[in-house]
Amino acid sequence: MKADYVIVGAGPAAVSAAETLRATDSKGSILILSGEKHAPYSRMAIPYVLTGMIDNEGTHLRKNANHFEQHQITVQHDTVTNVESSSKTLALGGGGSVEYGKLLIATGASPVNPPINGLDLPGVHHCWTLEDSDAISKIAGEGSNIVLMGAGFIGCIVLEALASSGANLTVVEAEDRMVPRMMNETAGNMIKDWCQNKGINVLTSTRVSGLSKSDEKLLVTMDNGDSQIADLVVVATGVRANVQCVKSSGVEIDEGIKVDEFMQSNVSDIYAAGDCAQGLDFSTGGWSVHAIQPTATEHGRIAALNMAGKEAAYKGSLNMNILDTAGLISSSFGEWQGVERGEIAEVIDHDNFRYMQLAFNGDRLIGALTLGRTNNIGILRGLIQSRTALGVWKERLLKNPNRIAEAYIANTQ
């Protein structure tokens, strides 16, 4: 088999790329190789399958069943086991091979396990695929006992879904607060307090040291000496880029596949996008893996434009997240930690669980954290990514960080 454009993976990066390719090149043949048996779907919709809001089809990235066919995009369910760049050929798990003109690796990431015993026991699951959510749904429910390992971003998103099932939920996080890479100490601990008020048992600065079988259940041992009986253990302790299939292709790999601002790797005609790609970082000017949905779709689009011969340089991804932990909404953008010689503005309202922090470099906004705010929140992205010079508004924001919408409007209208 042969195609002008071959895309490995069927997540948001792949779908955004395939559609952009079709819009840019009406004739070239496009083949998506999907390692999973489902129609192209979105992992980040899985929590809503767990809560019962949607069924598996609700996670599909395109709801029209003929969408890909209509755009002459072939979706084939097979795993790529090896990429040979000299002959421009892919080896498939099902036995065949495919020749490519241009290749996009959009294989995403996979969960990684901490070095403890018992992770292979029944009742221990990641929350990464539709199979995982099926397995979790069978156990989670009113009165069940669940231990969630990891309160990072993905852990906290899963937490929301697990808590709403009516289970007794314990969250174990090695660091000193919740979402440590997304929130500072103040906000991370406000989220912890909120969750505890909602009846979720949150253990920070604690590690699960081992899992073992106890009758039909799991015994979860902690490094503080405590232990707990659980029906279900969900492991959310980080992810790693899926780069196995390109290991011998000559493609440079660091934390992910290294790509330039055109999303191309060091090997010609091989591009990468999404969770598996280490691309331009808007904030630092360096190269980072930003494993989030908006970055995946942007990467896919930019890669596709370049693959189809329409040169487009990426301006870099902005690390940003929005999270709903049992009703408390938090968001983080860019370099919220601040930079040397930069300034930080902060307002804390502990009683009402509201918080806002802005980080500036000169008179430009470079990062932000919010808690308890949903209105006009995208403006934070806009202000950061347009590098808007805030002028007099910087002083006003230092005094009252909540005035972001006015600052933006004053600068654009």
Partner 1 sequence: MQKSLHINPDNCTGCYQCVIACSDEHGDDFNPIKSRIQVFRFEDEGRYVPYTCTQCDEAWCQKACPTDAISADADGAKIVSEALCVGCKVCTIACPFGTINYNADSGKVNKCDLCGGNPACVKACPTDAITFIDANTTGFDRMRDWAAKTDAGSQTSA
Ligand X SMILES: Cc1cc2nc3c(=O)[nH]c(=O)nc-3n(C[C@H](O)[C@H](O)[C@H](O)COP(=O)(O)OP(=O)(O)OC[C@H]3O[C@@H](n4cnc5c(N)ncnc54)[C@H](O)[C@@H]3O)c2cc1C
Residues that bind ligand X (CB under 6 A): 8-14, 33-36, 43-44, 46-47, 79-80, 106-109, 127-128, 154, 157-158, 242, 245, 274-275, 291-294, 296
Choose from ligand X, partner 1, none: what does 329 bind? Cβ within 5-8 Å by kind: partner 1
Per-position x/- string for 246-285, each x denoting binding to partner 1 as judged by CB under 8 A, each - no binding: ----------------------------------------
314 Cβ neighbours under 8 A, 6+ residues apart:
261, 262, 263, 279, 280, 298, 299, 302
What is the three-class DSSP state of 130? helix
Closest approach of Cβ 371 to partner 1, in Å?
14
Three-state SS letters, 137-153? HHHCCCCCEEEEECCCH
Per-position x/- string for 19-38, each x denoting binding to partner 1 as judged by CB under 8 A, each - no binding: -x--xx--------------
Is the CB of residue 274 less than 8 Å from the CB of residue 293? Answer: no
Closest CA relative to residue 336, chosen from 384, 293, 375: 384
Closest approach of Cβ 366 to ligand X, in Å?
20
Contact positions with partner 1 (CB under 8 A) in 314-373 = 314-315, 317, 320-322, 324, 327, 329, 331, 333
Q: Which of 311, 340, 341, 352 binds partner 1 (CB under 8 A)?
A: 311
Gap between the Cα atoms of 408 and 389, Å rounded: 10
Choose from ligand X, partner 1, none: what does 368 bind? Cβ within 5-8 Å by kind: none
Q: How many CB atoms lie within 10 A of CB 347?
A: 13
Tell me the two tokens of residue 106.
């959009």
133 Cβ neighbours under 8 A, 6+ residues apart:
46, 49, 50, 127
Closest CA relative to residue 262, chosen from 108, 102, 30: 102
- Tell me whether residue 21 or residue 407 sits nearer to ligand X (CB atom): 21
Gap between the Cα atoms of 33 and 50, Å rounded: 27
- Tell me whether residue 61 or residue 174 sits nearer to partner 1 (CB atom): 61
Which residues are at the interface with partner 1 (CB under 8 A)?
12, 16, 20, 23-24, 42, 44-45, 48, 53-54, 58-63, 293-294, 297-298, 301-302, 304-305, 310-315, 317, 320-322, 324, 327, 329, 331, 333, 374-382, 385-388, 405-406, 408-413
